[in-house]
Amino acid sequence: MTPEVPRFAVVGRVNKGKSSIVATLAEDDSVRIDPRPGTTTEVREFPVRVDGRTLFVLVDTPGFEDAPRALAWLRAREVSAAERPARVAELVRAFEGTSELVEECRLLAPILAGASVLYVVDGTHPYRPNYDAEMEILRWTGRPGMALVNRIGAEDHAAEWHRALDQHFKIVRDFDAFSVSFEERVNLLQVFRELRPDWRAAVDEAVAALVAQRGRRRAEAAALVSGLLVDALTHTEELAVEDEAAIEEQRDRLERSFHDALRAREEEARRRVEALYGHREARFEEGPGLERPVYRQDLFAEEAWKLLGLSPAQLVAAGALAGAAIGGAVDAAVGGASIFAGTVLGGALGGGGALYGVGRRYARVRSIGAPGIPGLLLDVQRYWSGARRFRIGPHAQPNFPWVLLDRALLHYDSVVRRTHARRGPIAVETAGAGGGRAGLVAEFARGERRGLESLFRRLRRDPYDPPRWVRDELERAIGRILRRVDPIPGEEPSAEALPHGP
């Protein structure tokens, strides 16, 4: 029969990656994946839905148990090629409910009900002639299908698999469930337009819906990242202390509370981005023995600030081009929070001030109302009530928003590239493998850095009531950046330069 929506039965031998392919295509990390054989023992359906509408259904099946015996049974009852699908149905009826050919009956049932076939093999293991029985049984069903050469290990036997599979399937594709891109997943779905002409309209609608969903997800991610930046650059905390003996203790507590709040806000944004792309079960966490990716280190870790964000020279350029001078002096030596060892930036910036505080990762408490440079620890001022009021924030370090943005972009890149077949920790690829900076923002065009720096400074200037246009422009700017990180098939490339607000 012809199903209402396309249905794909994912079949093959035990432990060859069937469930991994289902998880990746369905974008469902609840699919059980285990390196031990026999994890899938029942037929389970995974509908792929967008906006509540089912686009297609993937059917995860157990592996073949005794294909040679099943094929021998079929051949003993063959009348003509035209009758082969009927013989397969007869086999299922004959052994259903018995203790024989249990797995064959289970995996053939959805195919006989109208599902097309996705036959999965592991291209990292050699082809063996005993696979022919499985392929021949699938050919007897008369259902359209394609073969997928998955990759589970390090060896490569794909060429010999292709030679064998080409004799049984019209279409054979390499498909690595652990690293396949969104575009490759869409292309795989489009292949069935040719295999099943009756599914063409449904496949076209499914592809359009998936592409539109990808675009919406990216736009929502841009809103999450820009919201993180707005919150982090406008965050302040205050504290009143009346007991003079507790001043230092309370001041330290305020600093810890401020930085912990920024850490928590970043972690919240990450969890929401992961959930946006369906990564609800598998977390992006480090495991024992793995080097922690720089974007997963603490937000204020020294190593992260060495490798992410802008270089001192880029900070000077971005600040100058944004049209605002930053006062102070550059930290010249490593110690405490200083990160740019031996770097001294001379020369005038704006009206003659030099770049201040590029080495300081942590913000510091200041007393409310006292004059001085933002971010410095100042003498406290006693109010008429006898209490001393302290404020911390917004974080004034020039590189702070760039480090935060770099971390968000690296995390986003790992999320959109991570397939749902992957479990456990994942290392992020960075641009600093050759010893340079590890992030992405250092590669931005000068005009783009200038536009972003202007927005960052505007947010810091009005932390209690940031203008709506600044928020909107920052979200649009992040959206353009994410278009470069995650391009969607068929769309125009993102422009490099950022416009300016009023």
Q: What is the per-residue pLDDT across 102-113, written as a single tens digit (0 to 9) for each?
A: 999 999 999 999
Average pLDDT, the chain: 79
203-227 pLDDT per residue, tens = 999 999 999 999 999 999 999 999 9
pTM of the model: 0.81
Rounded percentage of the chain residues whose pLDDT exceeds 90: 47
Say yes or no to pLDDT of 35 above 80: no
Average pLDDT over residues 273-293: 61
Question: In this predicted structure, which of 113-117, 317-321, 405-409 has the lowest mean pLDDT?
Answer: 317-321
**Between 339 and 305, where is the model more confident?**
305
Residues of each domain in the chain carrying CATH 3.40.50.300: 7-195
Tokens 């406290």 found at: 380
- Asked which of 312-316, 392-396, 438-442 is least confident by mean pLDDT, the reply is 312-316
- pLDDT in the model for residue 494: 56
What CA–CA distances, in Å, run from 361 to 208, 301, 316, 402?
A: 45, 8, 17, 12
More confident call, 51 vs 312: 51
**Which residue's entry shows tokens 């100042």?**
378
Provide the 8-state DSSP code for 353: B
Split at pLDDT 50, 70, 90, the class of 36 is: low
Residue 255 pLDDT class (50, 70, 90 cuts): confident
Token pair for 328: 């102070």
Range 263-286 average pLDDT:
81
Q: Which residues contact 2 (CB under 8 A, 6 or more apart)?
A: 114, 198
Mean pLDDT of 473-490: 95
Identify the band that residue 436 occupies on the pLDDT scale cut at 50, 70 and 90.
low
Range 272-282 average pLDDT:
84
Mean pLDDT of 272-281: 87
What confidence tens digit (pLDDT) does each residue in 40-50 have?
Answer: 568 899 999 99
Both tokens of residue 160?
A: 């010999």
- Residue keyed to tokens 């009852």: 77
Confidence tier at 3 by pLDDT (50, 70, 90):
very low
pLDDT value at residue 355: 42
Pairing of strands 145-150, 116-122: parallel
If DSSP codes are grouped into helix, strand and coil, which group holds residue 269? helix
pLDDT at 68: 95
pLDDT tops 70 at residue 168: yes
Mean pLDDT of all residues in 150-154: 79
Diameter of the chain by CA atoms? 104
Strand bridging mode 388-392 / 237-241? antiparallel
Q: Minimum mean pLDDT among 41-45, 220-224, 300-304, 488-492: which range?
A: 300-304
Match 């966490």 to its residue by tokens: 285
Assign a CATH topology to domain 7-195: Rossmann fold (3.40.50)
Give the mean pLDDT of 285-307.
56
**Three-class secondary structure assignment of 189-251:** HHHHHHHCHHHHHHHHHHHHHHHHHHHHHHHHHHHHHHHHHHHHHHCCEEEEECCHHHHHHHH
Q: Residue type for 151, please?
A: R
Q: Give the residue ranges of DSSP H helices in 83-199.
A: 84-95, 102-112, 132-140, 158-165, 182-195
Q: Lowest mean pLDDT: which of 70-74, 379-383, 476-480?
A: 379-383
